[in-house]
Amino acid sequence: MRYALMTEPQQGLTYAELLAIVRTAEESGFEAFFRSDHYASFPGESGLPTTDAWATLGGLARETSTIRLGTLVSPVTFRIPGNLAKVIQTVDEMSGGRIEAGFGAGWNDEEHEQLGIPFPPLGERYDMLSEELAIIHGLWTEDDGWSYDGSHWQVRGARRHGTVARGGRRHPHMILGGKGLPRMAELTARYADEFNLLSAAPDDAPAAYSRIRRACDAVGRDPDELVYSAMTGVLVGETEDDLRHRVTDLMQALGRSAEDGAVWLADRRDRWIMGTPDEAMERVAALESKGVQRVMLQDFLPRDLDHVRLLGRLFAA
């Protein structure tokens, strides 16, 4: 099993706090760090300061040396495909080839309204995502002179300008996620290097991964070329007392009462890696038995660096 740490910096984290988390994750042995790509602050208190995902990843690329870095996920509505392709390639070069990029249709209408970003209906956003992936993949892999005709964007006579991913890769690692439903499965089969199952309970994985594999077969691609991963919330304590303290801290961070928090956690108990170290390892073993090859540990207490270190000792060392 492989392990990555994932956080939600829109919870009011400054760049300095983000850097401290990523350096701690790197020192603790995590292979990768992913951050969300959001402009509205949630969960918890609204109105907190937020940062741009790719701007911060550019900084982190220069201030770390081994840990891989990426987004889960960048909404199609935030950036024009050609621009995003160049941004990702630039940060990949800055990192020495350590960048992984997740792409999605977006869902948070509030943050779009706050910044004047158009937010079309879901079907249109999926159409846009399909074109975005075709363009970015084409810009990274097709010969000079490549063109593309889409309903939303057109490319004429593209030039790669030598911006090829490092480390012998054709392009930065591309991730798509969700539940593996038909439209995303088809896009994953055509363009992605990894499928990430969201809010994953172990029993959800086999059916979702099977849909991805069938989609690969349908387009003539070897399903084993993909990495099959899962993202799940994580909350671990060395002892039951430590765990109770972290539960309290989490409820405060989310702005929930103890009563409300108990219901919130109960709803996630079958999906999260939660409990003492033995309980956490049992949950990871359950995920692995269902075909999960990499786990993104979604940490909602990112300022708790001791939690990051504990996760590193359990999973990454």
Place of tokens 């159409």: 127
User: Can you tell me the mean pLDDT for 51-75?
Assistant: 98
Rg (CA), the chain: 19
Instruction: Name the pTM for this structure.
Output: 0.94
Determine the pLDDT at residue 255: 81
Which DSSP state fits 271?
T
Contact 153, 185 (CB under 8 A): no
List, for residues 11-41, the tens digit of each pLDDT value.
Answer: 999 999 999 999 999 999 999 999 999 999 9
User: Of residues 308 and 248, which shows the higher confidence score?
Assistant: 308
What whole-number distance in Å separates Cα of residue 305 and Cα of residue 60?
Answer: 17
Q: Tell me the β-bridge partners of 291.
A: none
- Distance between alpha carbon 70 and the CA centroid of its chain, in Å? 7
What pLDDT sits at residue 162?
A: 55
Domain at 2-316, CATH class? alpha beta
pLDDT classification of 297: cutoffs 50, 70, 90: very high
Query: What are the pLDDT digits (tens) for 207-225?
Result: 999 999 999 999 999 999 9
For residue 100, which of 5, 223, 11, 181 has the smallest C-alpha distance? 5
Tokens at residue 125, please? 């956003």
Q: What is the pLDDT of residues 177-215, one digit of tens each?
A: 999 999 999 999 999 999 999 987 899 999 999 999 999
Provide the residue ranges of all domains of the chain, joining segments of one domain with +. 2-316
Of these ranges, 38-52, 243-257, 279-293, the one predicted with the greatest mean pLDDT is 279-293
**177-195 as b/e: b if 16+ CB within 10 A:** bbebeeebbbbbbbbbbbb
What whole-number distance in Å separates Cα of residue 150 and Cα of residue 127? 10
First to last CA, the chain: 12
